[in-house]
Chain A
Amino acid sequence: MSDTAPEIQTDERVKTRSRFREALIRPELGGIIGTAIVFLMFLLFAFDSGMFSSQGVMNWSQVSAQFMIIAVGACLLMIAGEFDLSVGSMIGFSGMMIAIFTVTLGWPVWMAILVTFALALAIGALNGIIVVRTGLPSFIVTLAFLFILRGFAIFLPQVIERKTIIGGVDVAAEGDWLAALFGGKILGGLFTWMGDNGLIAVFARGSRAGDPVVDGIPMLIVWALGLVIFGHVLLTRTQFGNWIFAAGGDAEAARNSGVPVNRVKIMMFMFTAFCATVFATCQVMEFGGAGSDRGVLKEFEAIIAVVIGGALLTGGYGSVVGAALGALIFGVVQQGLFFAGVENSLFRVFLGVILLAAVILNTYVRRMITGER
């Protein structure tokens, strides 16, 4: 260029924002505030309820982990601009398939799990392909699968076993290498050591006297943390993450820039199905069986956790860490109210209120970012 670089002047009409205000404008804002408030409330009012003993912590951690697993999938999908309402039915369906494969067909558990995952990924891909090809709202397409998958989860065991709950997976899973990845516990040694040294509670009598009450971290929690880290890194640190934002922000603009929008969306549907199946497998291994009604309403709980975590329902904006915090709030409050002896139905009231608050806050944050009025 022949001419000198133009002088840069600041526009006098753009107000400089304080660092504090700048730090506020992030998707996790609601999740961080909510988590702080929730823990503060329960520490103040329910500290003696047993909620913060090793058993209590493990209790709400496990419930939160369940929410986290499905929230990660729902979060990435929502940022990519789509919904999946079939998550809950997918949990019921996948769990039932594992039970049918192992108990009825007598397959080894590892094979049942692998085949179920393949099946779930295929259904996820089908969801995505239908949405992308027809241009129909994912809301409708996945609503159809909500009924289809739930229908099969009830129909198949009834026809095959004449019941809606299939047990006995735990017996078959004994010593299975892949089952341990979903149903086992880790760091048992650490917990035994902590029990021996009086750091956590131990059984006082009975055949397990001296063993710690909480004897390890369940794989469910390991999966949850693993998926959160994976999702966060994928979204914020990779090329594919940029494509997820772009696909949800404006699919047409993304296509113009060469982003394979359809592929991104289909893969996110598959990832959501994957997360639902992880949830289902952990649950089947924990209970030793599957029930037709597992996972009912989980799709909405996942979406609520994601929205509390700061994601916009319209796509293109959100955070996996935020969704994880949303799931944590969810789990802590649900179990905390139980510990505090509060009537369980109030949990639903709380849920509705916090959902509304989160959506209003998100809209405000969005305006701050885009400068729209």
Chain B
Amino acid sequence: MSTEHAAIVQMRNIEKHFGAVIALAGVSLEVYPGECHCLLGDNGAGKSTFIKTMSGVHKPTKGEIYFGGTPMKFDRPRDAISAGIATVHQHLAMIPLMSVSRNFFMGNEPVRRVGPLKFFDHKLADSITMEAMREMGINLRGPDQAVGTLSGGERQTVAIARAVHFGAKVLILDEPTSALGVRQTANVLATIDKVRKQGVAVVFITHNVRHAMAVGDRFTVLNRGKTLGTAQRGQITPEELQDLMAGGQELVALEGSLGGTV
């Protein structure tokens, strides 16, 4: 595995308090280039808060963030984006009424100069979009096809391809598979694998152990704002992960009645 490399992101003892609520009570995590780091946890475990501190939405109350070995302070999401940390949200990533090509370059439109005037270079945008989509295995009718006609999995893939194209070194995927069907989930997991092989560090947030086991290199489980450390692939079984997420004891009581279906 690529653990010999230097970590691209180190989060050390991150604490985040919202008023009287302690959302994160000292979470540490390291992300390496070319690996898929799964961040697991049940609802309310603090996953979202944690990745929001990583992507510059929240400032940590305590703790340090190192990016490529140097300490970083992100004031705004834009700071994190320009440093190379891109977040793909489950919703709110694509605009259905706009074409794939317009979506792909939203906020980063290529510009062609004609004298003093600047125009959107549609030709360049269209060809890059088609190329990037082909690489990801999505067959578009054309670059002007509206995103609304794509399936949920394809939209996630477009969003991932977009982030990678614009130089993301760390890709945070916020529950990309939670609303998808089996086949679409498989597509997104395949996309994660491709992106990882390009040397991008992937932080994959999920509460589905099977999705995590399918692509994860390392696993960190959050529970009630704390982490019990990070496990390597092969050091942990899906059952153990499941137990860690649920906090162990409660689920044991349930397990008998559910017959191991969770």
Question: Which residues does A use to contact B, with CB under 8 Å?
Answer: 1-3, 5-6, 8-11, 14, 17, 237-239, 241-243, 245-246, 249-250, 252-254, 256-259, 312, 316-317, 366, 369-372
Q: With contacts A5-B135, A238-B118, A256-B93 known, is A369 near B148, CB below 8 A?
A: yes
Taking a contact as CB atoms under 8 Å apart, the answer to whether A245 and B95 are in contact is yes
CA distance A243 to B149 in the complex (A): 21
Residue of B nearest to A253 (CB): B92
- Note all chain A residues with C-beta closer than 8 A to B81: 258
Q: With contacts A239-B111, A250-B95, A370-B149 known, is A257 near B106, CB below 8 A?
A: yes
Residue of A nearest to B135 (CB): A5
Residue of A nearest to B95 (CB): A249
**CB within 8 Å of A: which B108-136 residues:** 108-109, 111, 118-120, 122, 134-135
Jot down 27 A-B pairs with beta carbons below 8 A, ordered by A: A1-B198, A6-B137, A8-B134, A9-B139, A14-B141, A237-B120, A239-B109, A245-B97, A245-B98, A246-B106, A246-B107, A249-B98, A250-B92, A252-B92, A253-B94, A254-B107, A256-B87, A256-B89, A258-B81, A258-B107, A258-B108, A312-B97, A316-B95, A317-B97, A366-B97, A369-B146, A370-B96
Cβ 8 A contact of B137, one of A8, A14, A245, A252: A8
Taking a contact as CB atoms under 8 Å apart, the answer to whether B92 and A242 are in contact is no
Taking a contact as CB atoms under 8 Å apart, the answer to whether A8 and B94 are in contact is no
Taking a contact as CB atoms under 8 Å apart, the answer to whether B78 and A254 are in contact is no
Taking a contact as CB atoms under 8 Å apart, the answer to whether A246 and B96 are in contact is no
Question: Which residues does B use to contact A, with CB under 8 Å?
Answer: 77-78, 81, 87, 89, 92-98, 102, 105-109, 111, 118-120, 122, 134-135, 137, 139, 141, 146, 148-149, 194, 197-198
Taking a contact as CB atoms under 8 Å apart, the answer to whether A254 and B111 are in contact is no
Residue of A nearest to B108 (CB): A258
CA distance A370 to B149 in the complex (A): 5
CA distance A17 to B143 in the complex (A): 15
CB distance from A361 to the nearest CB of B (A): 16
Taking a contact as CB atoms under 8 Å apart, the answer to whether A254 and B120 are in contact is no
- Note all chain A residues with C-beta closer than 8 A to B109: 239, 242
CA distance A317 to B102 in the complex (A): 13
